[in-house]
Chains A and B, each alone.
Chain A
Amino acid sequence: MNVGRVGFVIAALTAIALAVVHLRTERTRCAARTVTLESEWIQLRRELWVLQTRTARLRTPQRLRDRVVSLTTDLVAPAAEIESPPAARLASDRP
């Protein structure tokens, strides 16, 4: 066995070792990324639920009625008594 062959074997073994190390590192990194993504997914689900709850509260008929009153627009909430709307009243009050 000459020096060249020994060098080739050592180089090949080193390359295999490095590849194995690289693969293991990548696997660990992927696993960590998966864990992060799963956590983010759970977090996003949680945020979605919170936002859906908030939207649902804003869409309740009672809340809409309150908003119509607080905004004093000419809008009339469904099934509300139709009197002269606030804007029309304001206009009629002007001299």
Chain B
Amino acid sequence: MSFQTMPLDQVQRRSCAVLLVGSIALLVALAARLAYINTTLRPRLVAIANRQQQGQSVIPARRGMIFDARGRVVALDRQVPDVFVDPTLVDDVDRLAAKLGPRVNLPARTIAERIRRRADSRFVLIAPGVDAITAEAVRSMDCAAVGLTERSRRSYPHGESLSHVLGWVGRDGQGMEGIELAYDTHLRGRSGRRTMIRDARRRALGRSGQLPVSPVDGGHLVLTIDAEIQLIAEEALATGVRRFEAEGGSAIVMSPKDGSVLAMVCVPTFDPNEPVTAESAAARRNRAVTDPVEPGSSFKPIIACRALEDGFVSTTERIDCHMGSHRFGRRLVKDTSPQGLLDIRGIITRSSNIGMGLIAERMGNEVLHDTLRRFGLGDRTGIDCPGESSGVVYPLHRWTSYSPTSLAMGYEVLVTPLQLINAFAAIVNDGILMRPRLVRELLGPRGEVIRSLDGPQIVRRVVSSQVARYMAQDLLVSVVENGSGRRANTGPYRALGKTGTAKLVYDDRGGYEPGSYLSVFVGAAPVADPQIVVLVMVRRPNPRIGYYGAAVAAPVVGEIIKQTLAYLEVPPEAKSGLASL
């Protein structure tokens, strides 16, 4: 039976069946394609869609704040806008550059060059850290290719003050120097991010379904430094450096009882807000902890303490100082002022190199070497400041028969200003050496105390209490009241201390540089119960104006003591008799 001879209903039924089978086959094919797209192709397609529709927005974490001992903020983060261009959205580079240039105060040619150089990139930084007015001017352009992104920037409200202690932070928010580097892990936060749905012109339309990752702010720090004492020390040192036309200097103020550093100053200084503007890389170095120097006569009390302790000299013995000129072997040693017979008080008060050299000869190399090590010289103090030098104490086998004489005058040993003041503080602190510190507390992001470092950390006893007291309250007081340190005796407070003047070596080669000196004074006050120890070192003062520690550094220490004790509300003390051994 042919198709034409088939009854009509049979024809219809067959057509329907064909249509049904065809439809089912089509639907099955579509379903299979759908399943293929939803399984095999899905990851790739989702990635493409996300790339087109979504954008990540960083929620910046805040780097922790740094406070001084009295809760003043000395370092904190603030957000600044950066202007950027997305070159893939730019139609006419020159037109955009001409429009953007005046707003960000940059030549249009520079902007065009930057865009063309990275034409394939989605982000070309044009002007980092612009102010609010510039940001508003850029925003008013309403151009899809130009955008603003927020960036945290470290701010140091005290400017140049505290710069060497704090250090600074790099563009990526990483600590580069000082406390910022030493406590980078604690201070640094963890940025959050959120995913935004964007339109074809990359404008944010709303948040995607993904949960945002919240930022975790960094922890805070509390320093032992007091910004007011820091300013006092800075002003006094800067005045001294200017007055004597010196190359620079360092000053440290420390509490002898617990080793807290109250101020640490280096001149010349720099602005940590703009560290690249520093005169040189050397100006950014915290010389108070990184640069060891020969301390000159300020070293004598350390040797004298051990000599008294071990009986190499008594308080009553009088030593012939050969009227200011004496040969130790083939080396001729001279005193600034010729002296005859002097007891230990006279030797320290007049700073006699010959007297001290004769005592050091009696002690011998082994005892002297042990003395240096006992006072912590040749070792890092352990202060929480990166780049600390351990100084130089030569191994015993390199010492010669001249070494005792050299050490008696503060040569053949290199100490950092911090090591010197710490050793001196041990004498003032009844003979107990403390570990110096700059940080008092580590706080969490919400201000909770994570770790308290408040409390003295005793290293060891370096000299008996009796000898330490005799040295501090008799011999060193005599230096200030009757001897070379008279210029430190200013104001209503009695002070004790020791002067020092050392020749400096050339920066780039060996040998002492003629006319190049280091003027040192290290002192403490008030005498009865010393609250502060102050060290001042002035580098390369103009010798025509003055170079002795007594003339250059002592007045600076006097000024710092006077102002700091007044600030700390320490009552002036009455004159009293000297201690005796």
Whether A70 is near chain B, meaning CB under 8 Å from some CB there, is: no
Q: B interface vs A, CB < 8 Å?
A: 59, 62, 65, 72-74, 76-79, 150, 155, 157-159, 161, 194, 196, 204, 206-207, 212, 227-228, 231-232, 563-564, 566-567
* Cβ A61 vs Cβ B228 within 8 A: yes
Residues of A contacting B150 in the complex (Cβ-Cβ under 8 angstroms): 42, 46
Query: A57 and B157 in contact (CB under 8 A), knowing A38-B194, A52-B76?
Result: yes
Residues of B contacting A61 in the complex (Cβ-Cβ under 8 angstroms): 72, 227-228, 231
Query: A78 and B157 in contact (CB under 8 A), knowing A52-B73, A53-B76?
Result: no
State A56–B157 Cα separation when bound (angstroms).
6
Q: Among the listed stretches A8-16, A27-35, A85-93, which one makes contact with chain B, having 4 or more residues with CB under 8 Å of it?
A: A27-35
B158 to chain A, nearest CB (A): 5
Closest to A32 in B: B206
* Cβ A56 vs Cβ B194 within 8 A: no
29 residue pairs of the A-B complex, CB under 8 angstroms, read A32-B206, A35-B196, A38-B207, A38-B212, A42-B59, A46-B150, A49-B77, A49-B78, A50-B78, A50-B79, A52-B73, A52-B78, A53-B155, A56-B76, A56-B155, A56-B157, A59-B72, A59-B73, A59-B157, A60-B157, A60-B161, A61-B227, A61-B228, A61-B231, A62-B231, A78-B228, A78-B567, A79-B228, A79-B232
Residues of B contacting A55 in the complex (Cβ-Cβ under 8 angstroms): 73
A5 to chain B, nearest CB (A): 31
Q: A interface vs B, CB < 8 Å?
A: 31-32, 34-35, 38, 42, 45-46, 49-50, 52-53, 55-57, 59-62, 78-79
Residues of B contacting A50 in the complex (Cβ-Cβ under 8 angstroms): 78-79
B572 to chain A, nearest CB (A): 13
B206 to chain A, nearest CB (A): 5
Residues of B contacting A32 in the complex (Cβ-Cβ under 8 angstroms): 206
A58 to chain B, nearest CB (A): 8
* Cβ A49 vs Cβ B161 within 8 A: no
State A52–B78 Cα separation when bound (angstroms).
9
A8 to chain B, nearest CB (A): 32
Closest to B75 in A: A56
State A49–B189 Cα separation when bound (angstroms).
15
* Cβ A53 vs Cβ B157 within 8 A: yes
State A46–B135 Cα separation when bound (angstroms).
14
Residues of B contacting A46 in the complex (Cβ-Cβ under 8 angstroms): 78-79, 150
State A45–B196 Cα separation when bound (angstroms).
20
* Cβ A49 vs Cβ B62 within 8 A: yes
Query: A56 and B73 in contact (CB under 8 A), knowing A35-B207, A49-B78, A62-B158?
Result: yes
* Cβ A56 vs Cβ B72 within 8 A: yes
State A61–B232 Cα separation when bound (angstroms).
10
Residues of A contacting B227 in the complex (Cβ-Cβ under 8 angstroms): 60-61
Residues of A contacting B566 in the complex (Cβ-Cβ under 8 angstroms): 79
Residues of B contacting A59 in the complex (Cβ-Cβ under 8 angstroms): 72-73, 157
Which of A35, A52, A53 is the one whose CB lies under 8 Å from B206? A35
Closest to A47 in B: B79
